[in-house]
Amino acid sequence: MQRRIVVVGGGPGGITAGITARRYHPEAEITLIRREEKVLVPCGIPYIFGTLGSPEKNLIPDTALSNNDIDLIVDEVTSINKAAKTLTTINHETLSYDRMVMATGSLPLVPPLPGVDLGNVFTAKKDMEYLQKLSQALDKAEDVAVIGGGFIGLEFADEFNKRGNLNVTVVELLPRCLLLACDEEICTRVEKKLSERGIKILSGRKAKALLGEESVQYVELENGQKLKADLVILGIGVRPNVELALNSGLEVDEKDGIQVDGFMRTSDENIFAAGDCTAKRCYLSGSPIAVRLASMGTTEARIAGANLFGIRRRVECAIGIFSTCFGDLAVGSAGLTERAAKEMGIDVVVGEAAAPDKHPGGIPGAKELGIKLIFERDTGLLIGGQVYGGATVGEKINFIGALIQHKMRADEVCTFQMGTHPMLTASPMAYQLVNAAQFAVAKLRKAK
C-alpha cells in the first residue's frame, strides 16, 4: 500500500521535509499544503527594500516541489483528526495521511505598545501583498524608526538606508545592539559601522508608545524623547506559530513551541514537526532557547523527513549560529557569548586573534578577520565563538559551530590542520582560529 505523507507549511522547513521524505521514500504520495500562493525566502525579507528592490526577487521557486514529485495544495489546514489520521482545510477539503510533518513556522512578535495599530506600522510578515504595501509606504516616507536592534532590525535599517531618501533610526532596549548574540566589543563595531553609514543608533532606550492620528507620526521613548517617524518597523523577533498544533491537542508550550523528542516526533507518534514552530533546547544547559533560524529549521526538517517510517537520525540541541553583514563588515556568532556564559555561572577562558584574511596582508581585498573563542575553564571545551571581518565570516562561524557541536577542546583546536592559500586565507602562521585557541590554552596552563 502506498504511504501517504502530508507536510503542513510551505517555508524552508516544510519544503526540506518534503524533499527529504521523497529521497527516503521514492514510492510515497507526498503532499505539501501551504496558505501562500508564493513563498518568500524568510531571511531575505529585509533585502527586498534595498539590495533586491522588490518582493518578487525574493521567492522560493515551486520547482523545488515539482522536481521532487511533491503535490502542492494552496489552502489552510484548520483541524486535524489524529485518531482518523485526517486533516481538514478552510475550503472543506479532507486529506488522509500516514505521517504528517508540521512546519508552520513563526509569526512576528508585536509588542503591547500603545499605537501599534496605527497606519504605517509594519512587521517582517511573510506575505507578498503585505510587503508590497511596506515598499510603497517607504517610497512616501521620510523618517523611519526601527524598533529592535537584533539581526532582523539592523538588517531592515541598513536596507532602508540604502534607498537614499530616508532618515533611519534604530531604537534598542538593551545597552547595545546585537547584545543577545554577540559580546560588547563586536556590538560596538557594528554600531560604529551603522553610524558611519548614516543610521542613528539609540541603544539603551525603550519605546513607550507610537503616536499619531490615523498613521504613526512619532515614537515616544520612556525618557520622554519623541522621534519623528512616518513609518515604523517592529523588528523585535518572532514567536512560534502553534495555533494548529494547540487546537489539535498536541503537546505545546505557547512560548517555546511544539514539544518534540530527539527524532522530531510530537506527542502523536504519526505527527512530526520541524522549524520555527518547534521548541528548542540549549546545547549546553538543556534549557529552552529561542533560536528561530532557517538553518536550524532545515536541519530539523531533514531529521523529521528521514525518520517518518523508521528512526534514522537524531537532532542535536540548538547551538545558535548567526551571521550578518553591514557594508564591508560581517559578524558572526555561535554558541554562548562570554557574557551569557558568565551569567550562567560558567567559569570561562577566552582566546582572541586577528590577522588579514589573505596573506601577505598587502594582497588587494585583504581585510582584518578577528576571532574570539570561549572555552569552559574546567574542561577546556569550546562553548562559543564570534567572528568579525569580511565575506569569509559566514563560513568561518559555521566551522566554529561544527567544533562546538563535536565538543572540541582548546588543545584540540590548537592542532587543527588547516589548508591555506594567499588569496583565500590567513597565513598558516597567523591563522586566527588556531592562534585564538593557543592563547586560551596558555591561560588555562597558567591557571593550573
- 86: amino acid identity, one letter: T
316 located within any domain: no
pLDDT of residue 317: 86
* 430 shares a domain with 354: yes
**Domain finish residue from 185, 206, 236:** 236
Per-residue model confidence as pLDDT tens digits over 369-416: 999 999 999 999 999 999 999 999 999 999 999 999 999 999 999 998
* 328 shares a domain with 403: yes
State pTM to two decimals: 0.94
* 132 shares a domain with 91: no
Q: Which residue has 536592534 as its cell numbers?
A: 149
pLDDT of residue 445: 87
Pairing relationship of beta strands 382-389 and 368-376 according to DSSP bridges: antiparallel
96 located within any domain: yes
* 140 shares a domain with 75: no
* 243 shares a domain with 232: no
Going by C-beta distance under 8 Å and a sequence separation of 6 or more, which residues neighbour residue 28? 2, 3, 4, 5, 21, 22
Q: Give the residue numbers spanning the domain of 303.
A: 4-106+239-307
* Set of cell numbers at residue 286: 538543556
* 331 shares a domain with 417: yes
* 326 shares a domain with 301: no
* 73 shares a domain with 134: no
* 247 shares a domain with 100: yes
**Domain finish residue from 274, 307, 340:** 307
116 located within any domain: no
Provide the domain count of the chain.
Answer: 3
**Domain finish residue from 180, 202, 236:** 236
Q: Which residues of 425-448 are buried (b: 16+ CB within 10 A; e: fewer)?
A: bbeeebbbbbbbbbbbbeebeeee
pLDDT of residue 2: 85
Q: Which residue has 516526533 as its cell numbers?
A: 265
CATH of residue 429's domain is 3.50.50.60
pLDDT of residue 316: 85
Which has the closest alpha carbon to 316: 337, 334, 340, 331? 334
326 located within any domain: yes
**pLDDT lower than 70: segments of the chain:** 1, 447-448
